[in-house]
Structure 1
Amino acid sequence: MAIAPLSLPAAQALSETDSVKSTFFRPTTVEGGISVGQVLTMDRYQRAWMESAASRGVHWGWRRRTLFAPDGYAADYNYPEWGVTLQMMDYAGVKMRKTPSPDWGMAVPVDYSSSPGAVFSLVGSFSRPLFRTGKWQMGYALEEGLAFCTRPYAKERNIDNELTGGHWLIHFGASLYAARRLDKHWSLRGDLAFRHVSNGATYRPNKGLNAVLPTLSLQYDLDETGVPQVNVPKASFVKGAFWRIGASVGVRTLIEDWLRTQYATSPSDAEYRTGDFKRYAVANLQLDRMYRYARRWATGLGGDLFYTPYVRTLQNREVPEGSTAKYSCWSGGIALKHEAYYGDFSAYVHLGLYLWRHTGKMQSFDETPYYERVGVRWNPPRWKGMSVQFGIKAHRLKADFTELGIGFQW
């Protein structure tokens, strides 16, 4: 596995030593377990229609514990674990219902409670041990994957489910974990997990389902023997700075359309509380100056330019209604950017501040002066500095749009 392409000197071999830190945990394991927890109520609006939040689930998975790697990443992350897991979460205990209130405008309350049903997720995971000794291992884990919801929002039969707006959802998870060896093959692992599924603003509703789920897993190692201590050469790393330019296109739906059809449309209208929403394209350019100060980390500052033509649609709709808000299809910001690398892949997180942005009368309600971006990037070694990225831009952790892009660094 090669170091992700950067404007850095070529890696030099034989300068560092890569060694297995522990012989206790064997390389390959299968597991099964349970989760019991609660769906979180994120704000006052959600609190008004949440009735109950109990959640439970089961999962089955496979993990591969890293032994050593000559590129140095395994040692830098203290020999992490990679896994694939199938999760089945039962959210039938999560109930939502809007009771009669003038806050709902023209929406007529229904006589039943809505629920997300079950959510099936296929996820990849990365577990980094922070502490390993004797029979114990502790660390953190990250998950990313695809989810399927059995009971998304539906006007006819699930009208108050604002958590999941479609069958197909994006899954993200993060946890703190501890594992204990029981005997030669068996071990027990506990995670204090946070899990999120949503459609990334590609459809409505887009409240998203956020849950805290303590999880217990029973693990069985497939290997008969532990791995002995080994020493192998690994590539050296040289610090350095680089530029990156990127372009991406994204898709989103409008919260304005959701609020209009939910609360400002007559029950006799065909669009009343509809589940069909138009998707709008967005685009953006990025120019970043990054500093790779460690094999696994780079941090820097960048400028973002956004093109959001849907703002013209909002202007044409809202100005005749008396809106005095400002409108512009262009906006820009400056962002602090951090990236974590493992081989040819990296995960990024950005925290940005708008320098200018005018998106109409809902801007102060739905947006903040700052924005976040998270995603993953692939740096194919044969592409000579080119990269492909997939991510989500958000305000207060609520998706603004989902994007796919390319980049070039030098």
Structure 2
Amino acid sequence: MNFKHIVLALQFVLLSIVINAQTVDFLKADTTDTNKTYPRYMFAQTKFHFGGHFSTGVDGLEEIENNYFSAMELRVGWKGYGRKRWQKLMGYPSYGFGLYQATFFPEANILGSPSAVYGFFNAPFKRYNKWSLNYDLGVGLAYDFFGYDPKENPEQTAIGSDFNVYFTVSVEGEFKLSRRLDLTTGFLFTHFSNGRTRTPNKGVNLYGLNAGLKYNFNAYIPKQGGQRLAKTQDPRPKYIDYNLPEFKPYWEYYMFAAGGWSTSPYDIEDRELYYGVATLAFDVARHYSHKGKFGIGVDVFRDGSLVEEYQNKPEYSNGVPESRLWYPGIHVSHELLIHRFTLVTQVGVPLIHVEGRGGWYGRVGGRYDITRKVFAHLALKTPGGFIADFVEWGVGFRMYGKKKV
């Protein structure tokens, strides 16, 4: 992206009284393999995609959107067979890094043919003797788009940046073919967007089928200089079972502050126009299991781009006051816990009328636990509908309710 401004994320420091809490340390700092004597199981995988485009409604892209696309992935990953206890909690997943390359047809087009680097997480819905039904998530950075440019690429008004976020989700079956090879095949959805850090931002959305082969390497033990285990050993690990700590529901209280920037939702030609945005949120959540929690919270938003919603109104002929750029909201949430990562989904409503932003908003994103009480926050906030409003970059602090005896 051709970013001209750097916006510092808001940071805050909170002092609090330490409250006794039910421990979740076995998720945060797993000590199962402190001596690194458990073997590690790696794999390489290639996937092929084939499918079509969801329409953006942009004139000039019909030739691309009425055509098919193809893509290829190359992956390297690790199998979570129980070296850490959270892996049992998530059904013994696999995870790693990948490269993605798509081709949009015709190849000479105004949108480009995107590539991406990303991380992935794959876990089973259900595992059987020789096959499993899995879900697969991938998130990363896409490049090789031909972004909108009023002079160089004026007809491409679907996406305004050369670099975008890459997100893909698929449901697939995984089948054992031989001692080392697995076959994967399933359905996929892929999304590219920049979170309105550059307009236009209608996004690019793909659907289709994927098929691939996974090669399982011999396991090795890091503590013993990366020594490989015997070639006769099955390269697929045996799962380690655990008696997880008894779960008792408990409360969590947290807040975060975030900042960012957005561009005009209407003016796509002024490439120097940026607005500052900020969020302050306070939440109460109830942990219902080791894997998740429900919550409710209050938001306070500051959106500098709201000036465009009011500046043409007669009562603001002398300027839009700062107070019109702020508004409160209330939301409900669900959070999925995967070791130190949290997948956040929220739906909220503004507590006052906000011009041009609809009657509700959403937030989808992730958090990473830096310590047990401090976390980093990255999320996409949307207005009514599913078009991006802005991206939140922030930091938060949490406390826990008293442990039940």
The answer to whether the aligner puts 1:253 opposite 2:263 as a matched pair is yes
Q: 1:406 aligns with which of 370, 391, 395?
A: 395
- For the 8 Å contact 1:150–1:167, the answer to whether it is kept is yes
Q: Alignment partner for residue 89 of structure 2, among 76, 81, 88?
A: 76
- Contact kept, 8 Å, 2:140 with 2:166, in 1: the verdict is yes
2:387 partner amino acid: K
The 1:215–1:277 alpha-carbon spacing in structure 2 relative to 1, beyond 3 Å, is farther
Structure 1 equivalent of residue 106 of structure 2: 93
Deviations 1:50-102 (A, max 9, x none): 333221111111121211044x321121111112110001124389xxxxxxx
Tell me the amino acid that sits aligned with residue 281 of structure 2.
Q
RMSD of aligned residue pairs (Cα, Å): 2.8
Q: Which deviates further from its counterpart, 133-142 or 230-239?
A: 230-239
Aligned to 1:74, the other structure's residue is in SS state helix
Give the Cα–Cα distance (whole angstroms) in 2 for the partners of residues 128 and 285 of structure 1: 33
Deviation at 1:313, TM superposition (A): 5.0
Unpaired runs of 5+ residues, structure 1, are: 19-25, 96-113, 259-273
SS at match of 2:388: strand
Q: Unaligned 5+ residue runs, structure 2?
A: 1-17, 27-31, 33-39, 219-230, 400-405
Cα distance in structure 2, aligned partners of 1:218 and 1:8: 45
Identity within the alignment, %: 21
Aligned pairs (5 A) from 1:388-403:
388-395=376-383, 396-403=385-392
1:39 aligns with 2:53: yes
TM-score by length of 1: 0.78
State the Cα deviation string for residues 245-278 of structure 1 (Å, max 9, x = none).
11111211111213xxxxxxxxxxxxxxx36141
Asked if 1 retains the 8 angstrom alpha-carbon contact of 2:310 and 2:316, the reply is no
CA 1:169–1:12 in structure 2 vs 1: closer, same or farther (change >3 Å)?
Answer: closer
Distance 1:221 1:49, change over 3 A: closer
1:372-387 equivalences under 5 Å are: 372-381=362-371, 384-387=372-375
Evaluate the alpha carbon distance shift between residue 205 and residue 138 of structure 1 in structure 2; reply closer, same or farther with a 3 A threshold.
same
Q: Pairwise mapping of residues 1-400 of structure 1 onto structure 2 (< 5 A)?
A: 8-11=21-24, 27-42=41-56, 45-46=57-58, 50-53=62-65, 54-70=68-84, 72-93=85-106, 115-223=110-218, 224=231, 225=234, 226-228=236-238, 230-232=240-242, 234-258=244-268, 274=269, 276-312=271-307, 314-319=309-314, 328-359=324-355, 363=356, 367-381=357-371, 384-395=372-383, 396-400=385-389
**SS of residue in 1 equivalent to 2:394:** strand
Look up the equivalent residue of 1:406 and give its one-letter code. Answer: V
- Distance between the aligned counterparts of 1:162 and 1:331, measured in 2? 30
Q: What's the CA shift for 1:191?
A: 2.9
Residues 313 and 332 (structure 1), Cα distance of their counterparts in 2 relative to 1, 3 Å cut = same
Deviation at 1:370, TM superposition (A): 1.2
Deviation at 1:182, TM superposition (A): 0.6
TM-score normalised to structure 2 length? 0.79
Q: How many residues are paired up? A: 349
Tell me how far 1:189 sits from its aligned partner. 0.6
Helix, strand or coil at the partner of 1:115: coil
Are the counterparts in 1 of residues 81 and 239 from structure 2 also a CA contact under 8 Å?
no
- 1:208 Cα shift? 0.6
